[in-house]
Structure 1
Amino acid sequence: MSDASLTDDMTREAGFGDFVSLLKPRVMSLVVFTALVGLIVAPGDVHPFIGFVAILCIAIGGGASGALNMWWDADIDARMRRTRGRAVPAGRIAPGEALGLGVGLSGFSVLMLGLATNWMAAAWLAFTIFFYAVVYTIWLKRSTPQNIVIGGLAGAFPPLVGWVAATGSMSLEAWLMVALTFMWTPPHFWALALFVKSDYGDAGVPMLTETHGRPATRRHILLYTLALIPVALGLGFTSVGGPVYLAGALVLNALFLRGAIRVWRRDDAAAEADRYAAERGLFKLSLWYLFLHFGLLLVEATPLAGALQWS
């Protein structure tokens, strides 16, 4: 985006799209998908309309937490190149409007999920919103380089919420889906941090690249990838997994490990020379990594894949 287009974007009045952008629809789309998978692969039958309402409530709750995040982070968003054009730091939406939207949608989504499914699911949705908006956004993000590690739990809970909405209970399978997303989050965000360069430092966010250095970040990416692989493969041996999931997971994790090793072996001089090709490649792969793992779980839930399940 050029400086002129950015200036024009920051001076225009807010439209409907600006309020939608507060809900972080692109980020939350993956969150909603994992919740949908958690609901579908859970044992038992859910009426399609109830399932639709449940996923809609989870989507609204995820969007609400995004609005609360943008309200609180308006000051640091204004100092980062990739976020300074957002509606709140650009002045198109007042912070109080973002706060009101976030709080209102939070209460609505939790109440409706409880009425439509069960109050355990509603409680987990409320906790997820609280964890993202308060524990991660207000506390962890500005106070510790472990912000992404611990804060990753906020994005990891949706498949559990979907499972509980369908069953009214928790299980090993649901928690392994949580663990998969939780362990995936650090290498995903640290790969991004390596090639956005000084954005986090300029905003005063203690990302690992700023507090421990870029070589340490590369080592951490590899270590978390090694910890992620057994969690991802372990899902294949549960009731929601199977040979189709396991075959796909083996390929995806081999590719992810190869990418993490490439990033670990490089230094910044090599990265600068090819414009962070390996780091960008790992980040792009990480987006597909999580989506495809949960997509494979959906495939395992189909009747055809069920015929191939472990005896």
Structure 2
Amino acid sequence: MSDASFENTSTGEASFGDYFALLKPRVMSLVVFTALVGLLVAPVSVHPFVGFCAILFIAIGAGASGALNMWWDADIDQVMRRTQKRPIPAGKVAPEEALAIGLALSGFSVIFLALATNLFAAFLLAFTIFFYAVVYSVWLKRSTPQNIVIGGAAGAFPPMIGWAAATGGVSLESVLMFALIFMWTPPHFWALALFMKSDYDDAGVPMLTVTHGRKTTRAHILIYTLLLAPVAIGAGLTSIGGPVYLAAAVVMNAWFVKGAFDIWRRDEDIATDDGYAVEKSFFKFSLLYLFLHFGALLAEAALRSFGLGGWG
């Protein structure tokens, strides 16, 4: 990142909403939800106050990651239409403010998660912040078309952190929740990249659509969706799954694979003519896809608490 183009750009008019936007609240909401599911489906009960504190500090850690990402990406955010209104390129928040907020919240969230739960959960949170802010934002995003593949791990850690906050460790179930988000991330973002057109070109970000073209990107969406399906369905056969989750996963993955197949066989001229309707529909469904999978896991946990869920 070059700070030069952002010197003295802050208007001094930053509101609470601008600082909150710095934390990427939409991303934070997904982190909170998946971490909460990881916490609640774990086989160890957690006191409600401890659970609340754990999710709060995980959310703050996610916000810290967002602030650090916005600080580093301020130069390309200024170029991309999708991100031009973010607090730093809009001149609402100075880059050094974003950096200070990100670092302060990072330390706060990790220390207090350790005090509220355990050291292992705090370590996972610290590693997640580092992975997103440094490994993905600083290194991968601008250097390789595999940026979203490897970098997707940052968004996949929250359910593992929630599970670790409850149990103090890792298990097959938490790894499968991680894998579900990890494998979902590439087709989700590549679908977005297909209809964002020139944004990544203009910003010099080597997204797969830029380096290998749209046809290759469409094929990769299909491949990753086919690899995702057995992971998602397989989670239903573990202790956190059950008939409700398995039925939902089978239906959702059949629909997701169909959507990926429709994208794969698209002709770019047709896609352009109809405004990338199939790609936009697939992207929107991908958000619902992840929410419904974790919602089904939560439903199974609720049923088990009444002696009704699971496999016996």
1:77 alignment partner in structure 2: 77
Aligned counterparts, 1:192-271, within 5 A: 192-271=192-271
Q: Which deviates further from its counterpart, 260-269 or 223-232?
A: 260-269
Contact 1:300–1:306 (CA<8 Å) still a contact in 2? Answer: no
Residues 227, 90 of structure 1: CA spacing in aligned structure 2 closer, same or farther, 3 A cutoff? same
User: Per-residue deviation at 1:12?
Assistant: 8.1
Letter in 2 for 1:150: I
Contact 2:301–2:309 (CA<8 Å) still a contact in 1? Answer: no
Identity of aligned residues (%): 71
- Rounded to whole Å, the distance in 1 between the matches of 2:213 and 2:91 is 34
Residues 215, 12 of structure 1: CA spacing in aligned structure 2 closer, same or farther, 3 A cutoff? farther
Letter in 2 for 1:255: W
- Rounded to whole Å, the distance in 2 between the matches of 1:158 and 1:295 is 15
1:5 alignment partner in structure 2: none
Residues 159, 308 of structure 1: CA spacing in aligned structure 2 closer, same or farther, 3 A cutoff? closer
- Rounded to whole Å, the distance in 2 between the matches of 1:12 and 1:220 is 45
- Rounded to whole Å, the distance in 2 between the matches of 1:294 and 1:101 is 30
Contact 2:239–2:311 (CA<8 Å) still a contact in 1? Answer: no
2:284 alignment partner in structure 1: 284
1:130 alignment partner in structure 2: 130
User: Per-residue deviation at 1:285?
Assistant: 0.4
Residues 171, 279 of structure 1: CA spacing in aligned structure 2 closer, same or farther, 3 A cutoff? same
Q: Given the alignment of the two structures, is residue 108 of structure 1 paired with residue 102 of structure 2, yes or no? A: no
User: Per-residue deviation at 1:252?
Assistant: 0.6
Contact 2:12–2:93 (CA<8 Å) still a contact in 1? Answer: no
User: Per-residue deviation at 1:273?
Assistant: 1.5
- Rounded to whole Å, the distance in 1 between the matches of 2:265 and 2:163 is 39
User: Per-residue deviation at 1:309?
Assistant: 2.6
1:307 alignment partner in structure 2: 308
Q: Given the alignment of the two structures, is residue 54 of structure 1 paired with residue 50 of structure 2, yes or no? A: no
Structure 2 unmatched runs, 5+: 1-9
**Structure 1 segments (4+ residues) deviating >6 Å:** none
Q: CA RMSD in A?
A: 1.2
Letter in 2 for 1:299: A
1:40 alignment partner in structure 2: 40
User: Per-residue deviation at 1:92?
Assistant: 1.3
- Rounded to whole Å, the distance in 2 between the matches of 1:197 and 1:302 is 43
Contact 1:36–1:55 (CA<8 Å) still a contact in 2? Answer: yes
Contact 2:240–2:310 (CA<8 Å) still a contact in 1? Answer: no
TM-score by length of 2: 0.95
User: Per-residue deviation at 1:11?
Assistant: 6.6
TM-score by length of 1: 0.95
Contact 1:191–1:282 (CA<8 Å) still a contact in 2? Answer: yes
Question: 1:173-213 deviations in whole A, cap 9, x for unaligned?
Answer: 00000000000000000000000000001000000000000
Aligned counterparts, 1:149-160, within 5 A: 149-160=149-160
Question: In the comparison of the two structures, how many residue pairs are matched?
Answer: 302
